[in-house]
């Protein structure tokens, strides 16, 4: 089985995704997950691939709500896509299992208002405390334009 | 006449005026040599003078929480002590004041500015000043000892604590540096530490403590501190020349002063070379080098000198 | 002993760019560290949503002054991936030429900054003198020392003519001759060793946990280099050797970077000799179709990731930039406690931080 298939089996075993994976421009594979399955999937992957590397976390929004992408690298690129339908839904924090997620979660919270459960403070990373108000990016964004 | 002559020597040559001029010249030469060795052009000759004038023109801040009288007094005391020490150290063959024990007094006078510098850092409620001042004090303890030890060997050999005696003993090119090289190296390192030059400039390591004990100072006070530092360099070099390098030999008749100037340039060149070649010692390495290497070597030199002389 | 807070930044002689370190110090030892960034946050990602793809070429190059071409390359590759366009071989090679020249200048810059931080001003002067050759080379080809504007969507704008190739060759030779000095520094200079060996240890576990990339990671034993692990542009036929070592201290980071400079010089020479013929750019469609793209490249500091989402309009719907300094900063918070205060400057300067990249 190719490495991709192995990982997909692993994620499938988590009851993880509800669509087949897609390959996007640049070569990364994208797999969609339910928010509740994210943490178990990451843990399972870390067991199988201890050298799992979190390259980045992208937060964005589209018609389906807020979307968070976890860009992973295991010798090839895999992005996990999680949809957050509205601002009340919290994503599990990966801080305990992948400390590299720390600042990426802070940035996602600060710019998009995404909430992460299971971690203490989500202090702003980039903007000043005095910015206040609504997150500067995201559907109901504050600021100009 | 006697009084006029004394005043002239104290205030003009080789006293205050000459001291200030030569210290600015050597400060320029120092920077120029370092620049050339680093592949740069370096400042023009009037740079130290320009810096001093500029500083006098700048606002002299009264930092909040600092006793202004003390802050103003310390640099003046430091400069005054250094100028007094300059009177004891020979320029050429001639010291303005000379008496038995003047070597010790000169070193004592030279150590007071370092203590004043520590105090200048200590009285300012800013982290950089305090930490820099602490480092100055640490380095003071670490480097006055090798300086004194290194200078004690020639004194023991000559059985005199009078600088002009030490110079006279070296007449005929029997420079002490040839017979007591270890002492020369030890006291030179002590001098580098005392002058806070690289590699022993931890107290004002820009990347770590800003300007060290002088971080919050500006204007006239900072100008005085700079002048003190430059003058200390000159006095230190003169001291080393007098004690180790034979002072102003009479190589040819009337050329004593010429060789003296050459030695001054050579020693300054040596200091500049050391500055260019090495990275800065971390402050704990500074102590370690001093107590574990320099002081034992200095003691060794002293013992050897005494034993051979006895 | 009482604890004082040593503030380093946002403005401090040590820092080239603003950030705030709040270090709890007892005596001469750091016991706690807080790292705050955001002082040069310009809202680049939001800005890019309001500009067209073409206008963003200008924005992207100005995220960082040191690795501007890396950003430009990653951005162009992402857009080209969305467009389904492959750049011609000559363009890919010229992009790599700039990437490697940029790596050379960035590493020499870092070496100078580290030397200045440990009081070795001479090495600072020498390293930055050699860096000028690399910058002059980039300027003669593209017109800019940094922010070169060398890339187009679909290729490159500037060509390496035979005259320029000769001048470039001699510039590379000059740097290579003088590189021996920095080799000596790393291998033999005891005052350098005294200040960098055993300082600022970053274990492989910390590197893996925090996702540290680039020369910082390679100095601690992690061999991830995007040029080799996921080759892009001309790296598919150029095989740069990847220096890796395990000491994990500041000395190891210097060792890795000096080796990388040498390898980059070799790659540049190889490119001059075997530059493919062909056009400089492909014609690209005007509209970027809807889709997502993820691109990783090896910037001088490590893995640089660009994510672009397009909604079939003039402007990208989302551009995400993850720069390699971010995980280094996260790891720095763990490396600083336990240091002596005299080593703070060494470790911070030796971490090759680029706050403009981190803050965007």
From 2.60.120.10, 1.20.120.80, 1.10.10.10, 1.10.645.10, which CATH number describes the C41-331 domain? 1.10.645.10
Q: What is the pLDDT of residue B246?
A: 80
The answer, for B206 touching chain C at a CB cutoff of 8 Å, is yes
Is there a domain that residue B270 lies in? yes
Q: Terminus-to-terminus CA distance in chain C, angstroms?
A: 40
Structure confidence by residue, pLDDT tens digits, B197-206: 888 888 887 7
User: What number is the average pLDDT over the span B96-102?
Assistant: 84
Residue whose pair of structure tokens reads 């000028």 in the numeric block: C132
User: What number is the average pLDDT over the span A25-35?
Assistant: 82
- Where are the domains positioned within chain C? 41-331
Residues contacting A89, CB < 8 A, separation 6+: A35, A115
Query: What total of structural domains would you count in chain A?
Result: 1
Cβ proximity of C158 and C142 under 8 Å: yes
Instruction: Spell out a b/e string for B202-218, using b for 16 or more CB atoms within 10 Å of the CB, else e.
Output: bbbbbbbbbbbbbbbbe
Q: Check pLDDT > 50 for residue B91.
A: yes
User: What number is the average pLDDT over the span A56-76?
Assistant: 87
Structure confidence by residue, pLDDT tens digits, C67-103: 999 999 999 999 999 998 999 999 999 999 999 999 9
| d(C-alpha A108, C-alpha A140), whole Å | 15
Is there a domain that residue A139 lies in? no
Is there a domain that residue A49 lies in? yes
Is there a domain that residue B12 lies in? no
Cβ proximity of C159 and C166 under 8 Å: no
Query: What total of structural domains would you count in chain B?
Result: 1
Is there a domain that residue B14 lies in? no
B109 CB-side CA count, 13 A: 23
Full domain range(s) for residue B183: 21-309
Q: Check pLDDT > 50 for residue B284.
A: yes
Q: What is the pLDDT of residue A132?
A: 65
Q: How many CB atoms lie within 10 A of CB B254?
A: 8
Q: Find how far residue C69's CA is from the centre of its chain.
A: 10
Judge: A124–C295 Cβ closer than 8 Å, yes or no.
no
| d(C-alpha C268, C-alpha C100), whole Å | 7
Judge: A99–C330 Cβ closer than 8 Å, yes or no.
yes
Residues of C with CB under 8 A from a CB of B: 4-7, 12-14, 28, 115-123, 125-126, 129, 189, 191-192, 194-195, 340-345, 349
The minimal CB distance from A56 to the residues C82, C84, C322 is found for C322
Is there a domain that residue B155 lies in? yes
The minimal CB distance from C194 to the residues B127, B131, B285 is found for B285
The answer, for B37 touching chain C at a CB cutoff of 8 Å, is yes
Q: How many CB atoms lie within 10 A of CB A40?
A: 16
User: Can you give the CATH number for the domain in which A32 is found?
Assistant: 3.30.460.80
Is there a domain that residue B11 lies in? no
B298 CB-side CA count, 13 A: 25
User: What number is the average pLDDT over the span A3-15?
Assistant: 70
| d(C-alpha A101, C-alpha A33), whole Å | 17
Judge: C309–A26 Cβ closer than 8 Å, yes or no.
no
Q: Is the dihedral of CA C184, C185, C189, C194 positive or negative?
A: negative
Encoded tokens for B228: 């003190």
Structure confidence by residue, pLDDT tens digits, C187-233: 898 889 989 998 989 999 999 999 999 999 999 999 899 999 889 88
Cβ proximity of C301 and C354 under 8 Å: yes
Please work out, in degrees rounded to the nearest 5, the angle formed at the alpha carbon of residue C338 by the alpha carbons of C333 and C344.
70
The answer, for C320 touching chain A at a CB cutoff of 8 Å, is yes
Residues contacting B108, CB < 8 A, separation 6+: none
Is there a domain that residue B2 lies in? no
Q: Check pLDDT > 90 for residue C261.
A: yes
User: What number is the average pLDDT over the span A49-63?
Assistant: 87
Average pLDDT, chain C: 91
Structure confidence by residue, pLDDT tens digits, C16-64: 899 999 999 887 889 999 999 989 999 899 999 999 999 999 999 999 9
Which of A45-59, A99-113, B241-255, C266-280 is predicted with the least confidence, judged by mean pLDDT? Answer: B241-255
Percent of chain C with pLDDT over 90: 63
Q: What is the pLDDT of residue A92?
A: 87
Residue A144 confidence class, pLDDT cut points 50, 70, 90: very low
Q: What is the ipTM of this complex?
A: 0.88
Full domain range(s) for residue A112: 3-131
Q: Which residues in chain C touch residue B198, judged by CB atoms under 8 angstroms apart?
A: 119, 121
Judge: A71–C294 Cβ closer than 8 Å, yes or no.
yes
Cβ proximity of A101 and A114 under 8 Å: no
Is there a domain that residue B4 lies in? no
| d(C-alpha B82, C-alpha A16), whole Å | 79
């Amino acid at each position: 089985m190719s490495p991709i298939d192995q990982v997909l089996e692993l994620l499938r075993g988590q009851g993880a995704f509800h669509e087949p994976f897609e390959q996007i421009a640049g070569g990364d594979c994208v797999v969609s997950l339910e928010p509740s399955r994210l943490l178990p999937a990451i843990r399972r992957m870390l067991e199988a691939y201890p050298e799992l590397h979190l390259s980045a976390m992208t937060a964005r929004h589209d018609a389906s709500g807020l979307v968070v992408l976890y860009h992973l690298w295991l010798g090839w690129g895999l992005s996990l896509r999680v949809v957050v339908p509205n601002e009340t839904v919290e994503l599990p924090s990966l801080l305990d299992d992948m400390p590299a997620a720390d600042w990426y979660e802070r940035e996602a919270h600060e710019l998009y208002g995404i909430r992460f459960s299971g971690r203490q403070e989500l202090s702003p990373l980039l903007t000043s405390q005095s910015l206040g108000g609504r997150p500067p990016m995201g559907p109901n964004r504050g600021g100009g334009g | 006449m006697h009084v006029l002559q004394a005043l002239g020597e104290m205030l003009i040559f080789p006293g205050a005026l000459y001291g200030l001029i030569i210290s600015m010249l050597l400060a320029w030469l120092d920077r120029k040599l370092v620049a050339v060795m680093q592949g740069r052009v370096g400042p023009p000759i009037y740079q130290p003078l320009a810096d001093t004038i500029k500083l006098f023109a700048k606002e002299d801040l009264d930092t909040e929480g600092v006793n202004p009288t003390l802050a103003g007094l310390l640099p003046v005391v430091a400069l005054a002590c250094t100028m007094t020490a300059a009177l004891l150290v020979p320029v050429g063959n001639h010291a303005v004041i000379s008496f038995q024990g003047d070597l010790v007094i000169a070193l004592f006078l030279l150590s007071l500015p370092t203590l004043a510098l520590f105090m200048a850092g200590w009285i300012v409620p800013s982290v950089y000043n305090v930490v820099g001042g602490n480092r100055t004090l640490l380095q003071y303890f670490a480097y006055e000892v090798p300086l004194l030890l290194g200078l004690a060997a020639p004194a023991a050999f000559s059985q005199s604590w009078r600088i002009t005696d030490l110079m006279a003993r070296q007449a005929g090119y029997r420079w002490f540096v040839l017979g007591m090289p270890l002492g020369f190296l030890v006291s030179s390192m002590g001098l580098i530490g005392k002058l806070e030059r690289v590699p022993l400039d931890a107290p004002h390591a820009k990347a770590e403590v800003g300007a060290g004990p002088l971080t919050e100072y500006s204007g006239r006070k900072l100008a005085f501190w700079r002048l003190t530092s430059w003058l200390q360099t000159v006095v230190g070099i003169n001291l080393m020349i007098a004690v180790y390098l034979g002072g102003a030999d009479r190589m040819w008749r009337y050329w004593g002063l010429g060789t003296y100037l050459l030695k001054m340039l050579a020693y300054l060149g040596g200091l500049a070379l050391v500055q260019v070649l090495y990275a800065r010692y971390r402050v704990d390495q500074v102590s370690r080098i001093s107590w574990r290497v320099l002081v034992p070597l200095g003691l060794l030199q002293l013992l050897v000198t005494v034993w051979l002389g006895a | 002993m009482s604890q004082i807070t040593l503030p380093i930044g946002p403005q401090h002689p040590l820092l080239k760019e603003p950030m705030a370190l709040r270090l709890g110090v007892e005596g001469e030892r750091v016991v706690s560290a807080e790292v705050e960034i955001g002082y040069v946050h310009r809202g680049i990602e939001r800005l890019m949503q309001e500009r067209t793809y073409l206008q963003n070429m200008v924005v992207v190059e100005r995220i960082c002054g040191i690795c501007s071409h890396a950003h430009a390359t990653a951005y162009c590759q992402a857009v080209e991936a969305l467009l389904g366009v492959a750049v011609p071989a000559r363009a890919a090679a010229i992009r790599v030429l700039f990437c490697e020249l940029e790596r050379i200048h960035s590493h020499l810059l870092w070496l100078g900054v580290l030397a200045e931080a440990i009081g070795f001003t001479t090495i600072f002067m020498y390293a930055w003198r050699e860096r000028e050759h690399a910058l002059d080379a980039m300027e003669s080809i593209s017109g800019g020392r940094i922010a070169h504007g060398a890339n187009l969507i679909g290729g490159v704008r500037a060509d390496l003519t035979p005259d320029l190739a000769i001048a470039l060759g001699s510039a590379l030779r000059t740097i290579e001759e003088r590189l021996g000095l920095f080799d000596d520094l790393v291998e033999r200079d005891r005052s350098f060793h005294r200040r960098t060996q055993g300082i600022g240890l970053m274990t492989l576990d910390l590197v893996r946990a925090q996702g540290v990339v680039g020369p910082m990671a390679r100095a601690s034993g992690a061999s991830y280099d995007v040029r080799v692990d996921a080759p892009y542009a001309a790296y598919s036929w150029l095989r740069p050797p990847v220096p890796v070592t395990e000491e994990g201290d500041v000395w190891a980071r210097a060792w890795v970077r000096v080796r990388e400079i040498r390898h980059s010089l070799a790659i540049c020479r190889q490119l001059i000799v075997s530059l493919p013929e062909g056009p400089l750019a492909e014609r690209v469609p005007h509209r970027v179709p809807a889709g997502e793209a993820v691109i990783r490249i090896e910037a001088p500091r490590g893995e640089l990731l660009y994510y672009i989402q397009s909604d079939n309009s003039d402007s990208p719907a989302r551009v995400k930039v993850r720069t390699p300094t971010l995980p280094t900063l996260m790891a720095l918070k763990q490396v600083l406690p336990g240091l002596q205060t005299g080593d703070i400057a060494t470790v911070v300067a030796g971490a090759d931080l680029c706050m403009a990249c981190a803050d965007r």
